[in-house]
Each structure stands twice: as structure tokens, then as C-alpha cells.
Amino acid sequence: MIPELSERALILAPFGRDAEVAATVLADAGVRGFECASIEQLVDEIRAGAGLALVTSEALVSADISALRSWIEQQPDWSDFPFVLLVQHGSGLERNPENARYLELLNNVTFLERPFHPTTLISLARAALRGRRRQYEARARLEELRSLAGSLERKVEERTAELTIGEARMRAIFQTNNQYQLLIDIDGTVLDANATALAGIGGQLQDVVGKPLWETPWFAGSPHLRDVVEGGVGRVAAGETLQKELNIHLPIGPRAFDVGMRPMRGPQGDTLALIVEAIDITDRKRAEEALRQAQKLEAMGQLTGGVAHDFNNLLTPIVGGLDILIRSGVGTERQRRLIEGAMQSAERARALVQRLLAFARQQPLQLRAIDMAALVRGMADLVGSTIGPKIKLVLELPDGLPPARADYNQLEMALLNLCVNARDAMPDGGTLQIALSAQKSAGDDVSGLKPGSYISLSVSDTGTGMDEETARRAVEPFFSTKGLGKGTGLGLSMAHGLARQLGGSLTLTTAPGAGTRVEMLLPVSTEVPRREEPVVERRTAQEGTALLVDDDDLVRSSVSQMLNAIGYEVVEAKSAEQALELLKDGLNPTVVVTDHLMSGMSGAALGRELSPRTPVLIVSGYAENSEIEPHFARLMKPFRQDELSAKLAEIRARAKAAT
């Protein structure tokens, strides 16, 4: 029996402080944790309802896991309960064969090495809970489809029972039924077919009557199925009932069917004819594939998001240190060139991380109303110079479109990436079209769009196009068809992640030799667009005391030097709790600069504890922004001194104006 959907996290960690630490981290993230004392209790609690389980490898080494194995084996195909397994550092699958055994036992398991960063555990837990919710949503949808199919089957059986044996050739044929239904002789010759089956081949009854089933237009496009169909007819004629899922290439296109074949018996129990019933399950199969693809991208997004967060923390002292060296002008001319080169590489790394976060839908966004036509016109010259003279640029920008709600800079980057991809698909020249239009969604398609109004931004090319497999993988990060060194493979995945993060969608329409059309749907904004003001760099020295809060020593040291260079006296704290103690002891900072995701209290929680008159700047390498209220100023790691100075000047000016 499968319990109702629950979002509890079960914890089985009988040794050390793992259970206590994990429960505290999850509780701070709003995830309810429950500590289990044994595998038996873990299984009982899973049966009672849970969203995931956090288990240490030590808890499984010498324990009797038969109860857990039995529970997992009893689960239906749709239910894939998630486990997070805590293992020792350096005990990957290739170095510890025991982990492979756990992978085989638990099926849906993610390995987390100790010591772990709280952010990583929180990300894994939230991804697991999202995946569990999607399993239940998919099950509900499948049950709905199966219920519909069962209702149709019951109607067929009821109607069949009413007909007499003398009407054997007619009692399985219901012209108003939306199933494919046929009546065939025991040797496989078609005797009759209903209107739905004939519509599937675009033919008439006389085109199929008298022919063996495997030689009719239903299977003309699928010759590999002849042996399957012919063998099935023989088995059913001998008294069996056959049920099989077949992919059949019909004149109307490839379709997936759940095909049933059963004997029609006479008064003496002899087989008079065979009834063939086929239910079109193409839409259901596509929905299942879309769900699997969404789960795959979700897992990849969780992985890339965690990696990007760690890279941002690593890059912050690198970018900050190089920026300080460049400003101080230290070293010989050759040494300064080396420092500048290192900074350029660090900036490229920062851009790469931003694309990873965009794919993972974890980049911080500055949302506002955007005049899409003005944005595209403003980029026309840049796009034109990027694609070159061999490609014709066509703009379709109708008047009167409502504004879209998006991040201006990220949208510019996404559009430019799509245009570069289109250019690379047309090495011999062609036409690139950028088009805008207004669309509405009823919320009933597989893309997951909510009902509402959207702005369509499409980029179309007349290039080489993509086959089905390439198009399916096109939005995966680092997947590229351009060859080594000719692209990062992140442009399309970044645009896809941005569209989903904004509450929209991205779809591809393509075929080999027929070009490609990429469409982003962006939600409509109810606000009025404002002009994009140029950024004015502020270089004036500022005075005051800055309270700097970060649990990473290297990051804190780098940011402290930047603040000193700007003109602040810096007081450092390793945690939000320590910062509150300093404030309690009488510290009255001019501004508070704090990391967001830290062990214990978060930066946003610290900001809420401060006086409304104290300016707060939250810096983070991650975009778990649900806890951060809009009035808090934010700065994305890594950053340069000028960026920090400009942001501090902005929030201090805002605070001064408020008073």
C-alpha cells in the first residue's frame, strides 16, 4: 500500500551526531525531519508517509536490511522512493564497491560525502521532494487515463454481450467507438473494421476485407511486426487471449497502441472469429516520456546548481584578490599582464557559472516589466554584426504588445545565444528571423505552463536543423554538435532554464534540413516598462562601519579587503548568531554585508532581526531566493570592488532618502 504524499524527511543515522546535524539543517530549510532508531522503524515510518530518507552507510553495513529490501521490492513501477546516503569522503562507486550494492538496493539514491555543506544537503532534499511530488502527479494522470480506457472497455464488453452468436461478424464493430476495432477470421483474414480503424489508414472497408491482417495498411509501414501479428493470431485462434503494446507506423504517422486480441466463441465453445481492439496510447506515452525527461533535467539542474554555488564561493576570493592587485598596480609590466590574464579567465569562469545557474533555474533575477520590441530593436545592430553579412536578419515586431516580466540582462544574453546558435547552423548563409507575438495558455499542455497571457519570443533559422535525438538532448548542459572548442554547450540550456525560472517555457521545432525554431514564452507583466538607465560607476570614498558576516574564511577575508579599500572600517563575524552578539554589545554599523546561506541562521533571517534603518546587503553564490524579501539588496558572488561599491552606495542612498 502506498501512503498519501508526505514531505517528511526520515533520518537513520544511529552513530555520532549525523542525525542531529542533518535534522537541524533540514529544519532551518523548512523540511520536517524525523529520526529513526532502526531500519525496522525507518520502514514503518516510510509506510506511514515520507518524502525522502537520509541514511548513513554505517547504518546499513551490518544491519539486517531484509525489511527494507522487501518494502522496496513491493513498490509499484511508478513509485521510486528517494534516498540520500551519507558516505565517507573519497568513497565513490569506483573506489568502494559496497556503494554499488547500496545503489542496487535503494534504486533512487544520491550519495553525499561527509563532511557536507548544509547548502548541498538542502538542495538534495528539496530536489528529492520535488521528484516525489512529480511521481504522485504522474500516477494521478496515468490513473485518469487508465480509468478512461477501462470505461471504454466495459462499454465494449457490455455491448458484445447483448449481440447474438449469429451476428458474430458485427458484435465487435462499434462505429461510434474511438478504439481501433477489427473482426478477423481464425486464419487472420480481415472480416470487418470500425470507422476509427479505417480513419487511421485513410482507407475504405473494401481496402482491407479479405486480406491477411499483417498485409493491410495498418502494418504496411511496420513490416518488422509481421511475425508478431501472425504469431499472435495463431495463439489466439488456439484459445489464448493476447495483450501487447506495439509501436505502429500508420499513414497518419507513428502511433503507440495497447493491442488486445481475444477469441469469439460459439455455443459449443469453439472459436468462430477473433476480435482485435487497439487503444491509442500515444499521448500517454509522450506524457510519460516528458515526465522522465523533466525528472532527468531536474536531477541535472540540482547537480549543476550545487556545483555552481561552490564555484561562486571559490571564485569570490580569486576575483576579489585579483581586483585588488590590479588596482594597486603591483609588479612589473609583465606581471601585471599575467594578473590581467588571470582576471580575464576568472571572469570567463564567472560567466560559465552564471550559465550553469541559469540552466538549474537558480540564478538571482532582477524582474521588471520589459518592452520586448524595444529590447529586440536595441539588439538588432549587435545581432547583425554577430551573424555576419551572409545571413539576412528579419524582425517581426508588432505594435501594441504588452510588456513581459523578465530580467533584462539575462534576456539579452539568452537572445544573443539563440542567434549565435542559429548563425552556426547556417554556415553557407540563410535567413534568421526574430519574431514577437502575444499568446494565451489554458494550462492544459505538457509544458507545465500556468493558465494566462504570455509573450512569444521566437528565433528561427533556415539552417541544417536537428534530428529527433539531437533535439531531445539540445537543452542538456554541455551538449553541443559544434565540435571541440567551438562552444560550451550552455547557450540553449541557459535559455531553457531562464524561461522556466521566469514561469514560461522553451520549445524547439526542428527537422534535418528544415531549419530550427526556438520559442520562449514569457509571462506578461502588469507593470509599466521603465527605460534602461546606464550604470554610473561610483568611485567616491565612503565612511562608516561595515559589519561583514560570512562563514567562509577566504570569502570573508577578500570582501573585508574590498570594504577597507572603499573606505569602511570592517568588523567581521563568522555567523549570523555572532553578528547578533556584536550588535547586542553595542556595535552600530553603517551597513551590514552578509552571506545568505550559512550554517544556522541565514542572511535573510539576520536582516529581519536588524533595525529597518540599518541598510543590509545580501551576497550569495546561490539563488534560493524564496526566503529573501524583495526589499533586501542583493549582490551575486563573485564580484569586483567597483560592483560592491556601487551597490553599497545605492542602498545607503536609498536608506538616506527613506529617512
How does DSSP classify residue 188?
A: S
Q: Which amino acid, residue 370? A: I
Q: What average pLDDT does range 309-331 have in this prediction? A: 77
- pLDDT tens digit sequence for 379-393: 888 888 888 889 999
At 448, phi and psi to the nearest 5?
A: 85, 10
The whole-angstrom distance between residue 109's C-alpha and the CA centroid of its chain comes to 18
Q: Is the pLDDT assigned to residue 548 strictly greater than 80? A: yes
| C-alpha grid cell, residue 386 | 554577430
- The pLDDT score that the predictor gives to residue 300 is 57
In the chain, pLDDT over 90 holds for what percent of residues? 16
Cα gap 84→19, rounded to integer Å = 13
3-state secondary structure 558-603: HHHHHHHHHCCEEEEECCHHHHHHHHHCCCCCCEEEEECCCCCCCH
Cα gap 149→260, rounded to integer Å = 12
- The pLDDT score that the predictor gives to residue 1 is 53
- The pLDDT score that the predictor gives to residue 364 is 54
- pLDDT tens digit sequence for 11-52: 999 888 888 889 999 998 888 999 999 999 999 999 888 989
- The pLDDT score that the predictor gives to residue 87 is 85
In the chain, pLDDT over 70 holds for what percent of residues? 78
Cα gap 41→191, rounded to integer Å = 61
Residue 518's pLDDT band, with cuts at 50, 70 and 90, is very high
- The pLDDT score that the predictor gives to residue 581 is 92
Q: Is the pLDDT assigned to residue 547 strictly greater than 70? A: yes
Cα gap 516→514, rounded to integer Å = 7
Give the burial class of 204: count Cβ atoms within 10 A of its Cβ; 0-12 exposed, 13-18 middle, 19 or more buried. exposed
Q: What average pLDDT does range 268-272 have in this prediction? A: 69
Which of 45-59, 100-114, 343-357, 564-578 is predicted with the least confidence, judged by mean pLDDT? 343-357
Q: Is the pLDDT assigned to residue 402 strictly greater than 90? A: yes
Q: Is 509 helix (H, G, I), strand (E, B) or coil?
A: strand
Q: What average pLDDT does range 631-638 have in this prediction? A: 81
Q: Is the pLDDT assigned to residue 166 strictly greater than 60? A: no
Q: Which amino acid, residue 16? A: G
Q: What average pLDDT does range 156-167 have in this prediction? A: 45
Q: Which amino acid, residue 148? A: L
Whether the CB-CB separation of 156 and 179 falls below 8 Å is answered with: yes
Whether the CB-CB separation of 337 and 344 falls below 8 Å is answered with: no
| C-alpha grid cell, residue 498 | 531562464
CA dist list (Å): 124 to 51, 109, 305, 308, 614: 12, 11, 10, 14, 34
Q: What average pLDDT does range 272-293 have in this prediction? A: 78
Find all residues with CB under 8 Å of 8, minimum gap 6, and list them.
32, 33, 34, 45, 49, 50, 51
Sign for the CA dihedral angle at 122, 125, 126, 127 comes to: positive
Find all residues with CB under 8 Å of 83, minimum gap 6, and list them.
52, 53, 54, 55, 106, 108, 109, 110
Q: Is the pLDDT assigned to residue 311 strictly greater than 90? A: no
- The pLDDT score that the predictor gives to residue 157 is 58
| C-alpha grid cell, residue 507 | 520549445
Q: Which of 90-94, 144-148, 426-430, 486-490 has the highest mean pLDDT?
A: 426-430
Give the burial class of 143: count Cβ atoms within 10 A of its Cβ; 0-12 exposed, 13-18 middle, 19 or more buried. exposed
Sign for the CA dihedral angle at 359, 363, 369, 374 comes to: negative
Phi-psi region of 30 (alpha: psi -120 to 50; beta: other; left: phi over 0): left
At 82, phi and psi to the nearest 5?
A: -85, 140
Cα gap 423→389, rounded to integer Å = 11
Cα gap 319→393, rounded to integer Å = 38
3-state secondary structure 203-257: CCHHHCCCCEHHHCHHHHCCHHHHHHHHHHHHHHHCCCCEEEEEEEEECCEEEEE
CA dist list (Å): 477 to 241, 359, 522: 47, 7, 21
Find all residues with CB under 8 Å of 550, minimum gap 6, and list them.
556, 559, 574, 594, 595, 598, 619
- The pLDDT score that the predictor gives to residue 173 is 44
Give the burial class of 442: count Cβ atoms within 10 A of its Cβ; 0-12 exposed, 13-18 middle, 19 or more buried. exposed
CA-based nearest residue to 180, from 202, 204, 196, 158: 196
| C-alpha grid cell, residue 211 | 486480406
3-state secondary structure 364-433: CCCEEEECHHHHHHHHHHHHHHHHCCCEEEEEECCCCCCCEEEEHHHHHHHHHHHHHHHHHCCCCCEEEE
CA-based nearest residue to 259, from 243, 275, 274, 248: 243
CA-based nearest residue to 356, from 316, 302, 318: 302
Whether the CB-CB separation of 180 and 280 falls below 8 Å is answered with: yes
Q: Which amino acid, residue 375? A: L
- The pLDDT score that the predictor gives to residue 373 is 92
CA-based nearest residue to 480, from 407, 424, 554, 537: 424
CA dist list (Å): 87 to 58, 68, 84, 109: 8, 19, 10, 12
Cα gap 79→373, rounded to integer Å = 46
Residue 160's pLDDT band, with cuts at 50, 70 and 90, is very low
The average confidence (pLDDT) of the chain is: 79
Residue 555's pLDDT band, with cuts at 50, 70 and 90, is confident
What's this model's pTM, rounded to 2 decimal places?
Answer: 0.38
Q: What average pLDDT does range 457-470 have in this prediction? A: 89
Radius of gyration (Cα) for the chain, nearest Å?
A: 31
